[in-house]
């Protein structure tokens, strides 16, 4: 039996965290290639370390690279320019990692022909999933964003710190940062913040007290009133100094922050990362679809919490299974949702998901930090999986 009163913790990391730098670079490559060919295939991995960025992975697309591995004219130069600009936008102009001077290596190569033949549509065969795997989507009504509160507040802290840094309001802050929020839940709802941890990279000359004086007001501005109390425990830069950070302080790799990217540990995760992958990869697109469906179920008032699992086999279009768990809070039969939810997006094949959510567009670099979920949909289709446009259909389904 699940408890109604407990402590729970989630963490987030900023756009300047070395793993997030890698995610941003990989998704920048995805966006660049989708601009050239909306059907491009991309699996781009990035390594970052002291003054070095390395790309590796498999790609395919018109105007990008042919099957012999020959780049289209000017594309290699475009890639490097886009990667350097991504790092510049994050804000790295440090001796150990500078957008204009880091060494750059590009080892992207053509997609495997064996994978291509299995996943491409041909004849009467629909496009198959790009790999086997399980994907989860989750929503909870504990925040307006229908996200776990511990993760949402952790993201909000770092986004506010980033805005203060980028605006010039707090010039002592540097790009690398981490946050962690522990909440006490009573009757299943957030009641108080018992602990808040923030570690942020800073310029020389700021001591721990000066950093805390910057951070605490920002945290208090984004945590709902009443959750922070006199009993809240604060840890601001608990090591005392955080000057060396980012890829100079620790190596970064694409896809190492999958819990930060999703639900902060409040829901299961299938194990597949998102960044660096085009939307034919169900690791990304099916996880977005599962979140979309779960969010609409909760937004329709049919449950307080909803977890959805989808599973796929490489080369097979339709999901092998659909599982819905309303965590004993549902106002509709779960087996009915399992049968009907895929129909709302055209069957939940990779192609149907991409079409319904408009995923064949350069909308991914913006997802690489502060969560892929719990965001406002953009006019150009970015975060389209956060829309709640299925609510009325789901209410009608529940009404019979």
User: What positions carry a catalytic annotation?
Assistant: 17, 19-20, 45, 58, 178, 242, 250-251, 256-257, 277, 281, 283
Q: Is 316 exposed, middle or buried (0-12, 13-18, 19+ CB in 10 A)?
A: middle
* Token code pair at residue 32: 């660049």
CA distances from 181 to 8, 80, 195, 216 (A): 8, 37, 6, 13
d(CA 121, CA 300): 35
Pairing mode, strands 252-253 and 52-60 = unpaired
Taking the mean position of all CA atoms in its chain, how far away is CA 153? 15
Cβ(267)–Cβ(252) below 8 Å: no
Cβ(78)–Cβ(26) below 8 Å: no
CA distances from 64 to 29, 72, 73, 254, 276 (A): 11, 5, 8, 22, 16
Q: 39 Cβ partners below 8 Å, 6+ apart?
A: 61, 62, 360
* Token code pair at residue 362: 């350069």
Rg value, the chain, Cα: 22
Cβ(322)–Cβ(342) below 8 Å: yes
Q: Is 69 exposed, middle or buried (0-12, 13-18, 19+ CB in 10 A)?
A: exposed
């Amino acid at each position: 039996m699940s408890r109604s009163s407990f402590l729970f913790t989630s963490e987030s990391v900023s756009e300047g965290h070395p793993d997030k730098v890698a995610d941003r670079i990989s998704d920048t490559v995805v966006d660049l290639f989708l601009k050239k060919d909306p059907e491009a295939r991309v699996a781009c991995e990035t390594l970052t370390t002291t003054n070095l960025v390395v790309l590796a992975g498999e790609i395919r697309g018109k105007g990008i690279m042919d099957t012999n591995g020959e780049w289209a004219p000017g594309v290699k130069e475009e890639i490097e320019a886009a990667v350097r600009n991504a790092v510049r936008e994050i804000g790295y102009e440090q001796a150990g990692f500078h957008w204009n001077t880091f060494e750059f290596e590009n080892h992207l190569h053509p997609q495997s022909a064996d994978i291509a033949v299995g996943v491409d549509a041909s004849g009467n065969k629909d496009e198959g999933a790009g790999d086997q795997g399980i994907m989860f989507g989750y929503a909870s009504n504990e925040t307006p964003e229908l996200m776990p509160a511990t993760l949402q507040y952790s993201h909000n802290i770092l986004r506010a710190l980033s805005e203060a840094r980028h605006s010039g309001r707090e010039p002592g802050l540097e790009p690398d940062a981490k946050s962690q929020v522990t909440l006490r839940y009573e009757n299943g709802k957030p009641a108080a913040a018992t602990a808040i941890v923030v570690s942020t990279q800073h310029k020389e000359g700021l001591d721990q007290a000066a950093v805390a004086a910057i951070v605490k007001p920002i945290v208090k501005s984004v945590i709902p009133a009443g959750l922070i109390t006199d009993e809240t425990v604060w840890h601001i830069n608990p090591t005392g100094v955080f000057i060396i950070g980012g890829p100079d302080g620790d190596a970064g790799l694409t896809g190492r922050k999958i819990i930060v990217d999703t639900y902060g540990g409040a829901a299961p995760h299938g194990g597949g990362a998102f960044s660096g992958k085009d939307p034919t990869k169900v690791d990304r697109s099916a996880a977005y679809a599962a979140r979309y469906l779960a969010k609409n179920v909760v937004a329709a008032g049919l449950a307080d919490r909803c977890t959805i699992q989808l599973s796929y086999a490489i080369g097979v279009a339709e999901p092998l299974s659909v599982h819905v768990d309303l965590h004993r809070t549902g106002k509709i039969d779960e087996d009915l949702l399992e049968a009907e939810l895929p129909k709302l997006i055209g069957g939940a094949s990779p192609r149907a998901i991409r079409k319904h959510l408009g995923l064949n567009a350069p909308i991914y670099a913006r997802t690489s930090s502060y969560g892929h979920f719990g965001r406002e949909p953009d006019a150009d289709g970015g975060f389209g999986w956060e829309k709640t446009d299925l609510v009325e259909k789901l209410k009608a389904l529940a009404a019979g």
